[in-house]
Homo-oligomer: A and B are copies of this chain.
Amino acid sequence: MVLREKSLFSTRAEYGVRLMMLLARQYGDGPLPLARVAEIEELPLSYLEQLAAPLRRDGLIRSQRGAQGGYELARAPEFITMGEVVRSLEGPIMPMMCAPEDEAHATCVRGEFCSAQVLWSRIRDAVTGVLDTTKLSDLASPLAGRDTPGERTPLLTINSRLEAAR
């Protein structure tokens, strides 16, 4: 779809996070169908379906099947960390084979001689640190992180802004 150089995470995390943020804004207003998400975020519906599956299995979102159905957050946005979201979509965070999250079974063949491992572990910890301390509620407002406190922004607002943009 887009031209894509190498990047630390894949589109699964990217799209999945965008999906979750949309659900966060919608939280409390009933389920949102993926077709709407696909439309708003301009993402392929069939791909989104693939991303919703693990999120649901991991208890981050709830589904309502059938007409008027869709997905909604299983918990309030302030109780969902980005770490849960990203791990659900991408699996455990490891910057390198020899530095898995589960330090127990590092697959580093070279064992004690691999002192580079220290570096990769530090990086992994830095990444998971951000991921685990950032909650969905920290990002869900379009103004969040932009040095403005930012009140809640309903979907309606976002839609009209998208209209205006094209």
* A interface residue numbers (CB < 8 A to B): 2, 4-10, 13-14, 17-18, 21, 41-42, 82, 90-91, 93-98, 107, 109-116, 118-120, 122-124, 126-127, 129-131, 134, 139-146, 158, 161-162, 165
Contacts and interface: CB of A to CB of B under 8 A. Distances in A.
Number of copies: 2
A8, A93, A94, A134: most-surrounded residue (chain B CB, <10 A): A8
A116 B10 contact: no
A115 B144 contact: yes
A4 B97 contact: yes
A161 B113 contact: yes
A118 B145 contact: yes
A10 B96 CA distance: 7
